[in-house]
A and B are shown apart, each in its own frame.
Chain A
Amino acid sequence: MKQFIEDFKYLKYTIFHPFDAFYEIKWRGKGNMLLATLLLVLYSIVQVISYQYTGFIMNENPLFEMNSIAIIVIAVAPLFLFMISNWSVSTLYNGKAKIKDLYVLVAYSLFPIIIINVITMLLSNIVIMEEASLVFAFGTIGTLWFLFLMFTGLTTMHEFTLKENIMTLLATAVAAIIIIFLCVLYFSLMEQVINFVTTISQEFMRRW
């Protein structure tokens, strides 16, 4: 427990000093998998809550057809997709980070987004339409911060130069597309196989 509080304090240090902190996480084991998982869970919960409780003026979601599971999947799936594709590509580029490091990196980088999302959600309930753009701008700070942490974290953990990192990110995008393509292919093929099996078995049962 004491270790956990210690790691949480280190998380606060991380979001302000990403270069040093991610180096320490990678090589001195300052990262905490449990804390990272907790952050991911927290992130998806915040996504669900802000879907519903963002103030009416800024909230254009059809609440009557809200689906929390879908929101969680949409929030978390791209992160895992990024992790896997970046990891698989960076090995080719001599990247040093393991999938575990990437997991911690992504989760820790989400911390500013979580906090700022909660603040914007609360603020959106007390603003009018003219002020909504300010809140929106404040919200983008979170996203930019997240992107900055991700970028610096990737450079330090993989021990990349700037150029290498950008190249890897481009390759990551391609890899992600390939992964999505394979997933879709797999699912459609599986659907056909399952269809085939069910029709055969139905036929079999009717004839028997």
Chain B
Amino acid sequence: MRTRKKLIALIFTTILMLQNIVFAQNTVETTYNYNWWGNGIEDIPFFELYKTIDKEAMGDITLSGMDDVTVVGDRIYIIDTTESRLNVFNTEFELINSIKVVRNAEGKIAIDPKTKSQVTLKNPEGVFIHEQNEEIYIADTGNERIVILNEKDFTLKRIINKPDNMVGQTSFKPSKIAVDRINRIYIIVQSGFEGIIELTSEGEFTRYFGVNKPKVDLMDHFWRNMASEEQKAKMQKVLAPSFNNIEIDDEGFIYATTFDTSAKDMVFRLNPKGENVLRENGAWPVRGDLIDKTELVVTQSPSKFVDIALTDYGTYALLDKNNGRVFIYNFDGELMNVFGKKGFMKGELNDPTSLAWMGDNLIVTDKQMKCAYVYKPTQFGELALRASEAYYNGEWDKATELLEEAISINGNFEMAYTTIGKSYLMKEDYDTAMYYFKLGNNREYYSKAFNGYRSIWIQENFGWIFAGMILVVVGVAYSEYRYFKKQRK
């Protein structure tokens, strides 16, 4: 009797535990990607939550938000706009320093020579680290200036105020900064429609850079043509959409983002002339979410990019404020992965402001949740990112190997098939390349592979084709001959 009871209890507990296991399996987050037809398909996220930086790491210092994050070397710099602070963490996510009042080299509070007042940050919005010069550039938005600190001991180096020779209507309220290798300073001003402000290293105004073209509406154009001068004056002006964030890559190209809905492009890779040279060779333009009707993708609103983070191998991550998502594109502009969602749970984003790479990890800051999430690549993400790096560096065999492993984890990883196919195409293994391009739904490259396949086929079967052609010619000649013979009779 007793054993029976025990047995029943055992069965019950096993059933309960089984349910637990099933539940645990269900909690593995599934995300989506887009297939060639623009429909959502199931996908595995590249990243999972690893750590959180929140007010527990801050000690006595209050934390009211996180607005911009930059990682250089073993330091994480996070801007807190509301508290007017620059918080610096190490890679163990411990606070090293928190700057509000800037000190000079002697350890005293620095005095601005121009205004004779103490140098205190006021609602800064952006930070940039210049690795070469060991300088920290802080966009001190509230004070309309740029404060440059020494990276080693956080002492004041110099201050750049509004240049005297600046033209145009844009007010000098620097929000995000990037500095290139020869110390030219690029400044984003929120809602500045004239472009990115470019300064020399001394703070002289050079030019406005990179004009963002607005979409031209045919109806709008028509009405504008019809209108009289007075009516035109009353009409709302079509202003160039403004940029909202900036990043600079190894080659000195400026990446900028915008979330203005009237903009033609959302992500920019600007060459020195200010033209957009972003590679968009994927099935879809670099715009984040597509408007999609499948149940998998719930959103109906377009993405609003607030930040971009670049890697050394051309892969970049875009942060979407609207739906709390991170999009990862490779250097060719192919969508690799989408992860993250909006919500209040841990690891979900509410009002994301900024993101940065920390090695292979991604740090995303959230203004409303007052924390920064550190995401670590999953096994699948690790494989895909390493493959992307290998492919960018021309190690196609390595990339193929890694991607084949990634596909064994997730068969819906459409762009991987294309990449594998490309490496087979390079080796002139047309048959295999065609197989992979078909799986990857890449018609352009399939055509290239098929071209090679076809010419080999023609070469091999040239005898038969030639014989066939001769047969046709002889046949035609013979029938003509017979026809004429008949006619003569």
Binding site for B on A (CB under 8 A): 56-57, 60, 62, 126, 128-130, 132
Closest to B453 in A: A128
The 8 Å CB contact of A128, one of B37, B438, B454, is: B454
- Contact at A126–B447, with CB atoms within 8 Å? no
Partner of A56, one of B446, B448, B451: B446
In the complex, besides A60-B443, A126-B454, A129-B444, 15 extra interface pairs with C-beta distance below 8 angstroms are: A56-B438, A56-B443, A56-B446, A57-B443, A57-B446, A57-B447, A57-B450, A62-B37, A128-B447, A128-B448, A128-B454, A129-B443, A129-B447, A130-B447, A132-B447
Inside 8 A of B450's CB, which chain A residues have their CB? 57, 128
Task: State in angstroms the CA–CA spacing of A130 and B443 once bound together.
Answer: 11
- The number of chain B residues touching the other chain, given as a range, is 10 to 19
The 0/1 profile, CB within 8 Å of A marked 1, for residues 64-81 of chain B is 000000000000000000
Q: Mark B35-53, 1 if CB is under 8 A from A, else 0.
A: 0010000000000000000
Roughly how many angstroms separate A122 CA and B454 CA in the complex, as a whole number?
A: 15
Instruction: Kindly list chain A residues whose C-beta atoms are within 8 Å of the C-beta of B443.
Output: 56-57, 60, 129
What residues of chain A lie closer than 8 Å to B446, measured between beta carbons? 56-57
A55: nearest chain-B partner, CB-CB: B450
Point out the residues of chain A lying under 8 angstroms from B37, CB to CB.
Answer: 62
**Shortest CB–CB separation between residue A165 and chain B, in angstroms?**
34
Which residues of B lie under 8 Å from residue A126 when comparing CB positions? 454
Cβ distance B437 to chain A, nearest Cβ, rounded Å: 8
Docked Cα-Cα span, A30 to B34, in Å, equals 55
Shortest C-beta distance, B225 to chain A (Å), equals 31
What does DSSP make chain B's interface, helix, strand, loop or mixed? helix
A60: chain B residues at CB < 8 Å are 443
A128 to B451, CA, bound (A): 6
- 0 or 1 for each of B441-475: is its CB under 8 Å from A? (1 = yes): 00110111011001000000000000000000000
How far, in whole Å, are A130 and B454 apart by their CA atoms in the complex? Answer: 14
Alpha-carbon distance A48/B448, docked complex (angstroms): 28
Complexed CA–CA distance, A130 and B438 (Å): 18
B451's closest neighbor in chain A, by CB?
A128
Bound-complex Cα distance A185 to B443 (A): 42
- In the assembled complex, the Cα of A132 lies from the Cα of B37 at a distance in Å of 20
Rounded to whole angstroms, the CA-CA distance of A126 and B465 in the bound complex is 14
20 examples of A-B residue contacts, CB within 8 angstroms: A56-B438, A56-B443, A56-B446, A57-B443, A57-B446, A57-B447, A57-B450, A60-B443, A62-B37, A126-B454, A128-B447, A128-B448, A128-B450, A128-B451, A128-B454, A129-B443, A129-B444, A129-B447, A130-B447, A132-B447
Least distance between B448 CB and chain A CB atoms (Å)? 8
**CA distance in complex: A62, B294 (Å):** 15
CB distance from B208 to the nearest CB of A (A): 41
Complex: chain A residue closest to B438, CB-CB: A56
Total number of A-B contacts with CB less than 8 angstroms? 20
Report how far A130 CA is from B450 CA in the complex, Å: 12
- Report A135 CB to chain B, min CB distance, Å: 13
In the bound complex, residues from chain B placing their C-beta under 8 Å from that of A62 are: 37
Q: Report B-chain residues with C-beta under 8 Å of the C-beta of A132.
A: 447
Residues of chain A contacted by B438 (CB below 8 angstroms): 56
Those of B417-452 within 8 Å (CB) of chain A: 438, 443-444, 446-448, 450-451
Q: Tell me the smallest distance from the CB of A180 to a CB of chain B, in Å.
A: 23
Min CB–CB distance B428 → chain A (angstroms):
16
Interface centre among B448, B450, B451 (most CB of A within 10 A): B450
Which single residue of chain B is at the shortest CB-CB distance from A61? B37
How far, in whole Å, are A62 and B451 apart by their CA atoms in the complex? 23
Of B37, B447, B451, most A-chain CB atoms within 10 Å: B447
| Closest chain A CB from B129 CB (angstroms) | 46
- Distance in Å from the Cβ of B438 to the closest Cβ of chain A? 6
Bound CA span A128–B446, Å: 9
Q: Which residues of B are found within 8 Å of A57, using beta-carbon distances?
A: 443, 446-447, 450
Nearest opposing residue in chain B for A132, CB measure: B447
Closest B-chain residue to A130, C-beta based?
B447
Q: How far is B447's CA from A130's CA once the two chains are assembled, in angstroms?
A: 8
- Min C-beta distance of B16 to chain A, whole Å: 37
Expressed in whole angstroms, the minimum distance between the Cβ of B290 and any Cβ of chain A is: 15
Q: Complex formed: what's the CA distance from A129 to B446 in Å?
A: 9
Q: Which 8 A-B pairs have the closest CB atoms?
A: A129-B447, A128-B447, A128-B451, A57-B447, A57-B443, A62-B37, A128-B450, A56-B438
Most buried by B among A57, A60, A126, A128: A128
A56 contacts which chain B residues (CB < 8 A)? 438, 443, 446
Contacts of A128 in B (CB 8 A): 447-448, 450-451, 454
**A-side contacts of B447, CB under 8 Å:** 57, 128-130, 132
Closest to B447 in A: A129
Q: What residue in chain A is nearest B437 (Cβ atoms)?
A: A56
Q: Whole-angstrom distance between the alpha carbons of A176 and B45 in the complex? A: 50
- Inter-chain CA distance A56–B36, complex, in Å, is 13
Q: Nearest Cβ distance between residue B440 and chain A, in whole angstroms?
A: 12
The smallest C-beta distance from B454 to any residue of chain A, in angstroms, reads 7
Give the complex CA separation of A54 and B334 in angstroms: 27
A141–B443 CA distance with the chains assembled, in angstroms: 25
CA distance A56 to B444 in the complex (A): 10
Contacts of A130 in B (CB 8 A): 447
Min CB–CB distance A55 → chain B (angstroms):
9
Enumerate chain A residues within 8 angstroms of B451, measured Cβ to Cβ.
Answer: 128
Chain B residues 20-40 with CB under 8 Å of chain A are 37
Q: How many angstroms between the C-alpha atoms of A56 and B451 in the bound complex?
A: 13
* A62 to B446 alpha-carbon distance, docked (Å): 17
What is the distance, in angstroms, from A51's C-beta to the closest C-beta of chain B?
15
A184 to B210, CA, bound (A): 52
What is the distance, in angstroms, from A9's C-beta to the closest C-beta of chain B? 21
CB distance from B479 to the nearest CB of A (A): 20
In this complex, the member of B438, B443, B444 whose beta carbon has the largest number of chain A beta carbons within 10 angstroms is: B443
Q: What residues on A are CB-neighbors of B444 within 8 Å? A: 129
Q: What is the distance, in angstroms, from A36's C-beta to the closest C-beta of chain B? A: 34
Bound complex: CA of A139 vs CA of B438, how far in Å?
24
Q: B415: shortest Cβ distance to chain A, in Å?
A: 18
